[in-house]
Structures are given as structure tokens and as C-alpha cells.
Amino acid sequence: MSVQLAEVIAVLDAAYPPGLAQSWDSVGLVCGDPDDVVESVTVAVDATAEVAATVDPGGLLLAHHPLLLRGVDTVAANTPKGALIHRLIRAGSALFTAHTNADSANPGVSDALADTLGLTVEGVLDPLTRGPDTDKWVIFVPTGHADAVRAAAFAAGAGHIGDYAQCSWSVAGTGQFLPLDGSSPTIGTPGSVEQVSEDRVEVVAPARLRADVLAAVRAAHPYQEPALDVLPLAPLPADVGIGRIGTLPRPVRLGDFVEQVRGSLPQTSWGVRAAGDPDAPVSRVAVCGGAGDSLLASVARAGVDVYVTADLRHHPADEHRRASGVALVDVAHWASEYPWCAQAAALLRDHFGAALPVAVADLRTDPWNIEPQTVRGIS
Ligand SMILES: [Zn+2]
């Protein structure tokens, strides 16, 4: 039983849809041939030289961080990243990255972090809005003609909501019009006000089908000038996006929670630091794997007690603390995303079983590697 790289990519793309990646990001296959057989998969946060050295010949390195993000004009083997690419290609190995798409996906990077910290996830901290590009059509049809108009709209592609087709809503009412000179009304005569029993028929349709639906409705509608409204619908928040909000099984002191974070994540020289009242009770927690500075404003509005993320800088943290009572817990970037490796590994193991050995790279790729020997007091 052999597994092709293309099959692995299909599973990863389904779990971490590339369409969820930020516009500046670079995700997907970096090197490797989708038609090749994959011998094994190694999952890591970073594609470092040390990690690449652990990848089996013919293996796939699945990394969270892109290796080549900004414009690249060489992969020469005498450059650090070029050497890594050469090493992989020479060994028949591949590199695939799932970055901000894995951050936003559900479950994604922050779900893995939340699970590790013992949180029950309740929602997305910064939900993506899914632009449905959907129109609501409101069509006024004289009684007796509504079925024909509905059928025409459905045939043109209207009426789909999720796994349901031919969706429509209608109510009976009274329409009124005054046919002017030169008109040729289906009902009534020019010069006299006409009141007609009509149905108000509502359906949704993709905005790209606007011309098709209009042509179909006009063709099926008995009136010379059908009355209708086309309303673009606002996008709704989706269950995907950056960061998660979760709850602890029971409230704990902030100081104890910080210790819980320290004990749950792999050790780093960066360590775990926190800002807040150590005795304040915390139960609702926001988390964001990776650098979470940019979500501080969302955190302040989220109704949480504490925010766990990485790479919090002096000024954003200081500004936040002046304006918000939400405590901050800052952990190493690598440590905050490392739990995702197990999530991605489990995804592939569940799908391919014994046909594809999957391992999480057992290397700390946090760039900070020297532990402080002693902490000197500052007075
Ligand atoms: Zn990251």
C-alpha cells in the first residue's frame, strides 16, 4: 500500500483550506512531486536544517511556517534556504506548509493550543466573515403565477441554502399600479388604478447568477414590468478565523493559571511571563497561537479574563494593560504552535493509518536556545 503525495495534499487542503490563508501568505507545496509516493511524514513548526535532516528519503516535511514567504530569486545551494531545498529534492523528499490557513481552520492551530491548556473552545476570537456573495430576491407575482416564477428562478440557480435546494418563502398581499398611456398591462387598463392579489416570493441566489435569474424571472412572470427587489446579503461571521475563546473547567487564580500554562507547553528559554493580578480569578480565556499582538483590541472586547499568545511586545502590552483588565500571558512563539504538530499528525494518521508513518519532529526550533543560568535581582 503506497500513498501518493497528491493524496496527502488533498487531505491537508481539506483540513486546512488554502482559501483561508491571508493574502500575504504563502502556503502549499514548496518542493516535491505530487505524483511521487510518500514514504513518511514529519510534522514541525519550522523547516530548519536540523528538522530537514530528520526527514526520511522520499518523506514529506509538513511545516507550519513558510520557508519561502517573500520574493525569492535564488534557491542556490550556497544559501541557507536553497541548501535546505536542495537537500530535500536530492533525497526525493517534499516540503509542504500550512500556515495562516491552519491558523484559521477549524480545528486549527489555536484549537490545538486551547486543548493543550485544558480549555473548552466556545468560539473564534477574530472570526473571518465569509462573503457569501449572495443576493436575496423579492419578487411580486400575481396569485396563480408564483409556482412558475419560483420554478424559473430555481432552474436559473436560485434557492440553494447549504444542503437544501428549492428554498423559497412567500406571503400573500395586495399589489397596486396605475397603467400609463402606452402601457399594455396583463391585468387592468391604462388610466385606471388596479389592485391585484399578489404573492411576495423570496429566494436567494449567487450574485454571479444575477443576469440569469433576472432573465428567467422576467420570462416566467406574466407582467410587462415585474416588480422585484434584489438585495445583496451581508456576510456572516464564520466558525473559522484567528484565535479562540474557551473556558477552564473551573475558575483558578491567574498565578495558578500561568503555572498551568508553563506546565502544559514544552519548555523554552523564552519561558512564560504574565501581566495581571496573580490573585484574580480567571475562567474565560482567549488564545492565539503565534504572534497575537494584532488581536489585543478584539481581546479587550471579548469578555475574557486572560489572553495567551506569543511575541507580545512592550508597547502593545503596555497600552493594553492601561486600557483593559484582561491579563496577558506571553509564551514562546514556537511553543504556542507546537501543539498543532500533534493535531496535524493525528489528522494524517486517522486518514492513512499504517500506510503512512507520521511523526512529529522532536526538535525545539525556537530561535532562543540559551537558558538563563541565574536571575540577578535589579534594585
Ligand atoms: Zn507562527
Taking only the tens place, the pLDDT of each residue in 304-322 is: 999 999 999 999 999 999 9
Yes or no: say if 226 and 198 are a contact pair by the CB < 8 Å rule.
no
Mean pLDDT, the chain, integer: 94
d(CA 205, CA 227): 17
DSSP code string of 156-183: TT---BTTB-S--EEEEEEEEE-PPTT-
d(CA 239, CA 107): 10
Per the model's pLDDT, the better-predicted residue between 159 and 163 turns out to be: 159
Q: With 90 as the cut, is the pLDDT of residue 203 above it?
A: yes
Q: Give residue 202 CA to ligand 1 midpoint distance, Å.
A: 45
- Residue 236: per-residue pLDDT: 75
Other beta carbons less than 10 A from residue 322's beta carbon: 7
Yes or no: say if 65 and 97 are a contact pair by the CB < 8 Å rule.
yes
Q: Give residue 59 CA to ligand 1 midpoint distance, Å.
A: 23
Q: Give residue 183 CA to ligand 1 midpoint distance, Å.
A: 66
Q: Give residue 289 CA to ligand 1 midpoint distance, Å.
A: 7
Q: Give residue 100 CA to ligand 1 midpoint distance, Å.
A: 8
Q: Give residue 81 CA to ligand 1 midpoint distance, Å.
A: 18
Q: Give residue 260 CA to ligand 1 midpoint distance, Å.
A: 22
What's this model's pTM, rounded to 2 decimal places?
A: 0.79
d(CA 67, CA 29): 11
- Residue 166: per-residue pLDDT: 96
Q: With 70 as the cut, is the pLDDT of residue 6 above it?
A: yes
d(CA 40, CA 162): 37
Q: Give residue 278 CA to ligand 1 midpoint distance, Å.
A: 28
The stretch 81-88 carries a mean pLDDT of: 97
CA 17 to chain centre: 8
d(CA 110, CA 244): 6
Q: Give residue 275 CA to ligand 1 midpoint distance, Å.
A: 22
Q: With 80 as the cut, is the pLDDT of residue 129 above it?
A: no
What band does 376 get if pLDDT is binned at 50, 70 and 90?
low
Q: Give residue 242 CA to ligand 1 midpoint distance, Å.
A: 12
